[in-house]
A and B are shown apart, each in its own frame.
Chain A
Amino acid sequence: MSDTIKPAGNSTDDVGVLDADGQPISSTQLGEWSLSSDIPREETTLSGDWEMVIGLEVHAELSTNTKMFSPATNHFGGEPNTNVHPVCLGLPGTLPVVNGKAVELSIRLGLALNCTVQRCVFARKNYFYPDMPKDYQISQYDRPLNINGWLELPSGYRVRVERAHMEEDTGKSTHVGDSGRIHDAGYSLVDYNRAGVPLLEIVSHPDVRGPEEAKAYVAELQQILIATEVSDGKFEEGSLRVDANISVRPAGSSELRTRCEVKNVNSLRSLGRAIQYEAQRHVDLYESGDKPVQETRHWDEEGGRTRPGRSKEQAEDYRYFADPDLVPVDPSPEWIEEIQASLPALPRERRAALVELGATVDAAVIAVDRGLDSLAVGAIEAGADAARVLSHVANNLAVEGAASLDSDRFAELVKMETGGDLTATQAKTVLAELLVSDKSASDIAAALGFEAMDTSELEGLVDRLIADHAEEWDRFVNGDDRERGKMQGFFTGQIMKATKGQADGKVVNQILSARRG
């Protein structure tokens, strides 16, 4: 499926300028990384004076109708072996033909990751495995489609993307046996529904320094995949799969020590836990005078640990060579430009737009994650208070249908609220109504009988409550902080009860402190 790719012997075409690791260098982009910038980085979560060096390989399934090289339907699930065609079953005599849409989506992501899109070649990766119908995987080797890009995290830190190449997925086997464990299985059953599904393998440079940064990278990549409609990005359906290459080194050094590739990470949370576990395991080994061996390890979610991969039946020699059944993909500059022009605003740009309008980075991240940023931008541009808008987006709009709310009605609501025409509670009620009706915020408020309570009316009510609850008032006036807080809650609660929640909490607090003197 994937391994760290070091084009060595099997040169099938010219690679261009290489850096010391044999990686192609893009002259236009080298200057742009923020590797040594002053952006604050995740602090080490390791014991002692160690830092993590993490590279991530993400496999994303493309949102196409059909498979990478076969006209079988690309559809998750279904009865076993129903989404198949002679081509993706690898039947004798069949030949692969590239799905043009898969190439387009792959270029889309490449451009969204600021990659150079280049003439590329499909290569066969040869190894025997029952999930793989041809016993080779069509992938890309020394001439991938996208190279030398970067992905900017919400913090502003840029992780370099080494490559994003096209390949086909494998099928799935189910191991049937008493214990359910592979070694004891009586037999295996193979389903090729997933075989040949188009994948993009996105490989980062080892620029990530901790579990949170790794999660942020994958979360951001997921957002980009969804925003560009390249993939549905669903971890739970396997459309997104992450392998992490992990090593550690003394903090501040630039050496690269033995790395382990951790597989079977099925959620962002597992990714963070797996990285933390694996890196600490390396530290513990070094500190006890030992060292890790380079190997593939599997994350055991229940045990909260990584385990070594089971031994392989074959030596690793994939015998890559250019697939003679396929011809190169050579995207024209016009096609690349056309795709570039069709790209939607990316999460990074959408966050920046919100921050520009006064949002905090955190609030902008949430709004963009929820796909509500254009609503927020519209409302703020229509004059609504940014903080209030983003607070609603974060807390009160996480419901189905929120994206269809129009920003003008949303803005009116927020303005009524900040103008004192609606209390926070009332505003929340009106907001819920806005989502299911096409009436304006003021019409809904009027229909619900929401009118801001007169301050003098409230003052009268407060005075009556003080008279009725002299003992509690005394504790409010003379008690310690804790006592005062408790009693403030008591009086506010009484007032809300009496006004059926229509009193403005802020105004109530002002009256209470004024009366206390």
Chain B
Amino acid sequence: MSEITTSGPSDSALEIAAAVRAGERSAVEVVDAHLAQIEAHEPAVHAFNVVMAEQARAAAADIDARVAAGEDPGPLAGVPVALKDNMCTNGVPTTCSSKMLDGWKPPYDATAVERVRAAGAIAIGKTNLDEFAMGSSTENSAFGATKNPHDLNAVPGGSSGGSAAAVAAGFAPLALGSDTGGSIRQPAALCGVVGLKPSYGAVSRYGLIAFASSLDQIGPFTRTVADTAALYDAISGHDGRDSTSIPEPMEATVPHLDDGVAGLRVGIISELFSGELASGFEPEVLAQTRAAADALAAAGATVDEVSVPSTIYGLSAYYLIAPAEASSNLARYDGVRYGHREDGAANTGGMMTASRTAGFGSEVKRRIMLGTYALSAGYYDAFYGKAQRVRTLIINDFDRAYADYDVLLSPTSPCVAFPFGAKSDPLTMYLNDVATIPSNLAGHPAISVPFGAGRDGLPVGVQILAPMLKEADLIRVSAVLENAAQESAA
């Protein structure tokens, strides 16, 4: 197993920001250290589609000037942040790792990108993903797969594999990803970092290139729970440019880092732990989940198993809803206004068909066709309509569980990082998302926290789920698990 062993910059975002704000470290020096790490290991990892070296240095110099002028450049001052390449960055190529958008430069920043910049963070590059965020391994990128820094022969997970790998490899302490069915949490688990999917509507989707509008959420990747809390606090909050953005103020999570779990009621989702569905999960993954539950109990929480029966329908519902919305969201890539155009067609329709056929990869085509079918006349009620009702069942089941439990616990992924090509059959790959999907369907927040190692010593992530807008509870539980994991490793 080859692995990134050279120790790169390992300071947390909050440590860096504190030093930069105090004038003890320059942001330029911080950026240069991370660029050096990227230069050394990016060829092996391929986390980035674009490294924004010059822009990053310029932004860092600006931060330093502001510190020198006595201004407060924000809570994440001088901290490099890697951005999944499906978030619009003004004047910087934003491709969704698709031939379709190769070279396209948006004339605006996504709201989340604006907000990390406003908090003083420095965009250092655009990270690789499964094309249009459709996949669980980053193998579906038109620009080549990203490698897992813990094992270069294994996938980093997906679709935000580039962001997870960038954080794991020390390329940046912070990264943003997007999670439609687990695309933050699963790569976070496989790369041994923290990944949070916020409540639907907590972080603006403006400027996030849509995959499935009713499921997509932007969220953080970091190496520490405290950094995740800080990054979430920086990007969350209402945005008038997203109609689905929650208008009520979000609760800050940083103040809850040290709340502990005494008296907290934790429910292990039995369907994802001891049920039939979980029989295919790697035993080491289940063992670490049990260990995490024990750690929480040791810290004063009460832990039980609880059934959330309709989670078993989550996967099917998701693979009807997400492709249906995607089939419509991806219609605009027609070769008329931007993106790839295939020349030589005799008429507009021919040009559109040729451009889409050449511009999209197989997985994207597969999902567009699946979604088109699910929405088409005669099938709407059986598929998309029914799947939307299943969402209600899942929400009702969660609500019942949350009557007795504050948070729920499960593995994040059925397995640790797997070798490239191991899941070439689409359905096998889809089954990887079974534990993460229910939160997207319900719109609830969920986090993956590294907890020990599994097969071949590869990282395992455990998932904590909470009711709508209870991110603070996820953070306090995660902080306890982070501590426990460090203690048992020591």
Contacts and interface: CB of A to CB of B under 8 A. Distances in A.
B88 A92 contact: yes
B12 interface: no
B186 to A, nearest CB: 23
A92 B209 contact: yes
A5 interface: no
Contacts of A92: 88, 94, 96, 101, 104, 106, 209-210, 332, 338
Nearest to B351: A130
Contact of B243 (A12, A97, A135, A314): A97
B328 A124 contact: yes
Contacts of B324: 321
Contacts of A133: 332, 337
Interface stretch (A15-23, A83-91, A368-376, A399-407): A83-91
B381 A11 contact: yes
Contact of B108 (A86, A314, A317, A319): A86
A426 to B, nearest CB: 63
Nearest to A182: B347
A28 to B, nearest CB: 30
Contacts of B87: 93
Contacts of A325: 210, 213, 243-244
Nearest to A124: B328
Contacts of A135: 331-332, 334
A126 B331 contact: yes
Interface in A73-90: 86, 89-90
A95 B348 contact: no
B349 interface: yes
A134 interface: yes
Given A93-B106, A133-B337, A313-B349, A9 B378 contact: yes
Given A95-B206, A95-B242, A124-B328, A90 B337 contact: yes
20 contacts: A9-B381, A90-B332, A92-B88, A92-B209, A93-B88, A93-B108, A93-B209, A94-B206, A95-B241, A95-B242, A96-B243, A97-B240, A98-B243, A130-B348, A188-B348, A313-B349, A319-B372, A319-B376, A319-B377, A326-B244
A130 B334 contact: yes
Interface residues of B, number: 47
Output the residue of A10, A95, A97 with the most chain B CB within 10 A.
A95
A148 B355 CA distance: 44
Given A92-B209, A95-B243, A133-B332, 20 more contacts: A9-B377, A10-B385, A12-B385, A90-B337, A92-B104, A92-B210, A93-B88, A93-B207, A94-B206, A97-B240, A98-B243, A126-B331, A126-B375, A128-B352, A136-B331, A313-B349, A320-B375, A321-B384, A324-B325, A325-B244
B208 interface: yes
A144 to B, nearest CB: 18
Nearest to B107: A86
Nearest to A129: B348
Contacts of A285: none
Nearest to A96: B243
B380 interface: yes
B384 A130 contact: no
Contacts of A134: 331-332
Contacts of A126: 327-328, 331, 375
Output the residue of A8, A93, A313, A326 with the most chain B CB within 10 A.
A93
B355 to A, nearest CB: 11
A190 interface: yes
A188 B347 CA distance: 9
Contacts of A98: 243
A1 interface: no
A89 B328 CA distance: 16
Shortest beta-carbon contacts, A-B, top 6: A135-B331, A324-B213, A319-B375, A324-B214, A313-B349, A93-B207
Contacts of A95: 205-206, 241-243
A92 B339 CA distance: 10
Contacts of B94: 92-93
Contacts of A9: 377-378, 380-381, 385
Contacts of A313: 347, 349
Nearest to B335: A130
B262 interface: no
Contacts of B338: 91-92
A335 to B, nearest CB: 18
A39 interface: no
A327 interface: yes
Given A126-B375, A128-B349, A190 B336 contact: yes
Interface in A165-200: 188, 190
Contacts of B337: 89-91, 133
B407 to A, nearest CB: 27
A90 B205 CA distance: 15
A325 B349 CA distance: 27
B369 interface: no
Contacts of B349: 128, 313-314
Contacts of B240: 97
Given A91-B106, A92-B88, A190-B336, A10 B242 contact: no
B401 interface: no
Output the residue of A91, A98, A314 with the most chain B CB within 10 A.
A91
B110 interface: yes
A97 B205 CA distance: 12
Interface string A253-276: 000000000000000000000000
A470 B246 CA distance: 97
A325 B372 CA distance: 18
Interface in A1-56: 8-12
A11 B332 CA distance: 25
Interface in A312-338: 313-314, 317, 319-321, 324-327
A104 B444 CA distance: 33
A129 to B, nearest CB: 8
B328 A136 contact: yes
B385 A11 contact: yes
Interface string B198-209: 000000011111
A390 B347 CA distance: 58
B332 A321 contact: no
B380 A321 contact: yes
Contact of A128 (B88, B104, B331, B376): B331
Interface in B205-246: 205-210, 212-214, 240-244
Interface in B305-353: 324-325, 327-328, 331-332, 334, 336-338, 347-349, 352
Contacts of A91: 106-107, 337-338
Nearest to A71: B241
Contacts of A326: 243-244
B129 to A, nearest CB: 14
B121 to A, nearest CB: 19
Contacts of B88: 92-93
Contacts of B328: 124, 126, 136, 319, 321
